[in-house]
Structure 1
Amino acid sequence: MLLLFLQNENFIFPMKWIKFILMKQKMIKWSGVMLLLFLIVSFQGFSQEENEAPVITKPMVIKGSVKEKKTKKAIKDVEITIMGKGTVLTDVFGDFRIQARIGDEIVISHDSFETVRYVVKDGQRVDVEVKENPVTIRSQKLSKKRTESEYQENLQLARSTIRKDVSASIGYITKSLESIQEDDPKGDMKRAELYETLADIYSFSKQPDLAESNYRISLSYAYNTDVKIKLGKAQLEDKNYQGAFKTFSELQRSRLNAEQKILVLEGLGDSNKGLENSSGAIQNYNSALSLSKRKNLDDKEISLNTKLADILQEQGNTSDAAGYLDNSVQLAQQQDRKTAARQRSVAADFYNKSNSYDKEIQLRKEALADIEEIEENAEDELLEEDKAITPQVQNYKIANAFAAQEKYDEAISYFEESKKEAASKNDLIVQKDATRKLGEVYREKGELEKASEEFEEYEVIVDKLYIQKEQEISQAARFGRELALSANRIETLEKDRELNETRYQLAFASQEILDQKSLRQQVMIYFLIGLSVLLLLMAYLMFRNIKQQRYANNLLALKSLRSQMNPHFIFNALNSVNTFIATSDERTANRYLTDFSLLMRAVLENSEEDFIPLEKEIELLRLYVQLEHFRFQDKFEYQVEVDPAIDVAEYMIPPMLLQPYVENAVWHGLRYKSEKGTLSIRFDKIDEGSIKIVIEDDGIGRKQSKALKTNNQKLQKSRGMGNIKKRIEILNEMYKDKVDVFISDLNGNEEGTRVQLILKKDR
């Protein structure tokens, strides 16, 4: 019975006591048994007391939120801690979820307020409202002061470095944007100011399209009349005359001060001029001029008089135009010398167009005197727009005026002075033009030896200019990449700001419907959709930016290829001149050099164009073939045939596209033929949208020509043919298969060569 009692599941008894009882069982008397029963009953009572201890509760999920008491604004990243059981952080809505038991203490802590403690009593929500810590408030105020200082400092640096380093200036704009806090009450005004400055930078960098878009962004943050006037000017620079007219027309309905009215009227005049509405332009210019006179704004009077003179000259009304121009010169004389020199140069250009050379020469000499005074007094350096009033340019134009009157001795002295000034200032363009014109004047005077020296010097300068142009193209490409990176950074900041603003708005909306769980889920879904749309939009903008960058790179590549003249042709042409001179055939040399200079001049004039009319290309081709035939009269005859059904004015073609194929035909086909060959160039119409250009020669053929090449020639690549292939590839990429080229043997015996080009009309 005792053992059964000891085996009771509710009884807890040490085993050593049981062993002790069993060993001493025989020795125990009734009194001992009674004592033992008493002890057992005592232990059973102790066990029952232990079984009556409180039952441990199961864990539950406690939900809650933390908000600022005054503003009801949710506080993110608050630490919600249960000692020994873990920590969670509040989300963007200020909400949290944590597992706890009844009786646990929740510790709510954050740097912005004093720590709060809460004991869990049940499973209800725990919504806590807190007050900001005074120390934190002072710290935030100091942080805002530092941020404001950084903003102002970066903005000033951006404005002061526009003319020195555009890339650095954009970098300062980026830093200023980063310093604007989301809760800054002046945030929109600051962003409007920064995007205006960024647009000013792009306007200075001659990128009016980017300037226009950033002026619009600035206006979207805060309307400003001056910024909208700048927007109109950017549209004018981008030749968006219809858009500029609309912008300035809207400004007329705004409240404007006198200076703004003048700028708006002038902008309307420029827009009308661009839209070929001469009468409207004259009316606007005159209205602006009258207001400028009343307000004594001499600078605007000078500008408006000049614009009226220009448009009247275009209409053929030279007498009235001269009157306006004389007024502008008289007003400029009352200003500083730079203004006077600039206006005299403008007036001289006007008189040059009307063949009033004496008046032109007088004005340019007066401008030269002003320029010398400016340089002696070391006044402000000349800006980009003031390059027309340099000594080398004015001397060059004076010389041209004398040459037009056949006063060659006076012209020579001014051309020499222009060359000297241009060389001292590394102005290769003016130096090149002055050298070429000097050679032409010597040739007209009959001093052929001096003319030849000038033309040789001209060729050297042209080579230097090509090298300089290539460097400028490389610098422009690098500058474009830097600008693209800076623009992408600013665009990313703007998208991040918009995204953060969207998040905040969604969070605020969630606070109002905190107890409506289903509605909050919908808000989250909308947020994700909006985020996806934003990401898709950003991807599209990046794709468009990459596409624009690729297009710009193609343009740069075209310019680089276009700027490379065929050195093989120039070298051989000069050798021919040298041969004629060595054989004392000066008349032939002079004739050849004259035709050669005409070709070079035409090529240089077209060097900056992507496309020229087919008519011009045919003229260049005829002149080139004539020169080659002049050198190899005993090697081939040629014919150039143009289908009368082709309207050559309707087709556009890249300049010097056909010349490398003709040169290959002469130099590698016909030149090595024993008997006299034939070169045929035909322009045939295929249909209304395309023509066929066929260049045929009955020379030795491609196979024999390749066999005749020396080892050195095999190692060298044909630069002309390489360039033409690259140009055609780029053009076809940009303009969707504009030119197709097919090269084949003329006959089955692999003699002769046929080059066939398909040229398509612009749609």
Structure 2
Amino acid sequence: MRLCLFILSFLSLASQLCAQEESGIGVELEAPATFMLKGEVVDMETDQPIDKVNVEIAGKEYTTTNRAGEFSIRASVGDELIFRSDAFETVYYQVVDRQRVMVRAEPIPTLASTEKKLAEQASNPLGFETAIDSAKAYLRSDAGRSIEFVTLALESIQGGGDDDRNAIAFSTLGDINAFWGQNDLAISNYKRSLEYAEDKAVRIKLADNFRQNGNYQESIGEFERLLDLELSPYQQIEVYEGLGDVYASISDPLQSLKNYQLGLRIANSRQITPKITDLNSKIAESYAQEGKLEEAITFFDNSLDLAGRENTRRSAAEKNRVADFYNSNQNFDKEIQLRQEALDDIEEIGDSIIDANGINPLTVQNQNYKIANAYVAQDKYDEAIPFLEKSISEADQKQDLIVQKDATRKLSEIYRDLGDLDKAAQTYQQYVSVVDELYIQKEQELSQAARFNREITLRQNRIISLENERELNESRYQLAVDNQELIQKNNRIQKWIIGSLVVIALLLLYTAFTQRKTARQQRYANDLLALKSLRTQMNPHFIFNALNSVNSYIAQSDERAANRYLSEFSQLMRAVLENSEEDFIPLAKEIELLQLYVKLEHFRFTDKFDYHFEVDPNLQVDQFVIPPMLLQPYVENAVWHGLRYKEEKGNLLIRFRQLDTERVEVLIQDDGIGREHSKALKTDHQKKQNSKGMGNIKKRIAILNTMYSDKVDVSISDLESDGRGTQVTLILKKD
């Protein structure tokens, strides 16, 4: 039998959310202003307006175009407009201003439009695009002719070197095979398409056809590899849904449910309504498979509600699916109610409907038959008989011998059970006649299927032969090219000798240049090595005293103070180690490190000084960089050699001020005893340690200014005329 698959594809572009962190400053974002955006939708080929186009801003506004193809919708800059219609491919448009929008939609190829193109080009060979459009137009109605157009498309590719077109042709061929239930051929053609060009949409089709062909592990492997790729939201949903379908096929409801739920989460966040409906229904089936009936009913109720909002066809298909669930759980009253509602929908549309699985058509006759079965299961024979009679009548008119056979047999059995043997015998004779007729029909269908498969196989072999012939032609062409290259080889050798002499001369010049450049690079590398060595040397004086402070707290049994101090000290050390490999870090990070260091020193010498940080509110701290822990030695000198020896409580000021767009001033100021007085109090060991620490800083600044063109300027002066207090001023340049 024909396997009909209707695949509805929607593309959604994710709105990107930007999060900004600002330390100590709250920022309120105003909602973007809305305005009435106007525009129109026209056919790309004819410039004719298209009416009744669905125009939507996901989760916000909705409207349609009028007869002139015009629309008006309330929107904001940054919103995404979605234009949907069965007349053209879905179009996405990002609102950038208030200007009128003009949308030129590319129409979907139809059988009529393809026939028109063929008539216009009857005297000329078909182009690739026309042949592919023709193949797609005949895909659902004439497989043989559709494949023939794919063959013409392949023949139109000159030389066979167009990988993208080859990929499209074999992907289309795979679509044809998949639609007609030839999943093994579809797999082969999708693989060949991927050999020519990588396409995630084709990979999804390949994985799904693995499942339909019973290659479950191959399907799972392909789907899981897809999850490692960058997919659109709709493709992510397709992959998770596909994985759920595979696990459902191998009776693993837990894994099936897990993947359906992952897909539903994305569908809900992106408001992809059709997928929300499908996944609610499939989650319900997974719960039912696990025996969790209450959860299954909840999700089936959701799917029924969502399907009812889509359209009558989708609603009827979902009602049939849920009715099957209630039938399997012997809730026949609920089943009958849903099937009668589905029956009303089918009669309203006046056509058969593909069910939610995309396989079995829902018809008046099979719904009547299933309603009758539900009554029979409850021993309500009198209620079942009218539905069976309707089913038989409709099946007879529609030449649906399978339903007619089943319904006739069931009616005969009911008459038998009711004791009406005459009607039972009469109905049974009708059943025998239908079976005979069905047997003949099945033989014809088998014969037709065999012919169909032979025809498709022959056409497929023709394409393979075409590919082989094209590869042979390419080999011949390559051989001719090789011969031509051999003829030209002697000329190239002569030119090569002359060129070699020129190259030797150039090499001599290059060697001299390289030696000079190597010398410069060696000096630069030496500077980097020296800089790295100096950068990793944090003042051991501070580390030693910090650990002594911890030891002092422990000796005093002040574990809380020791833990607090040690915790913050470890944070500072970790940050210093993390930045030890960097020449420069953002000024904001240096300020954070300096604040943490001063906090630790203040914790030890609370009664000796107070400190204050001033950061210019106009200073763009993320625009400037600074060598890591450059300021710490200056602050340490202010604390240890200025403020610590002061009798009364001192003050430490650290100020960051932007001088202009290219420069920042850093001021470190203390009102301590001053540099001269501090020198007089130092021991020989302290003088040595201080000299080494400040010497490292001076070397770092000198090397950095050599490598980066005077990046940092430093000046140190007394705060007062009598030598008390110290002021360190650093000028930091952006570039």
After TM superposition, the score normalised by the length of structure 2 is 0.48
Larger CA Rg, structure 1 vs 2: 1
Greater RCO structure (CA 8 Å; 6+ sep): 2
After TM superposition, the score normalised by the length of structure 1 is 0.47
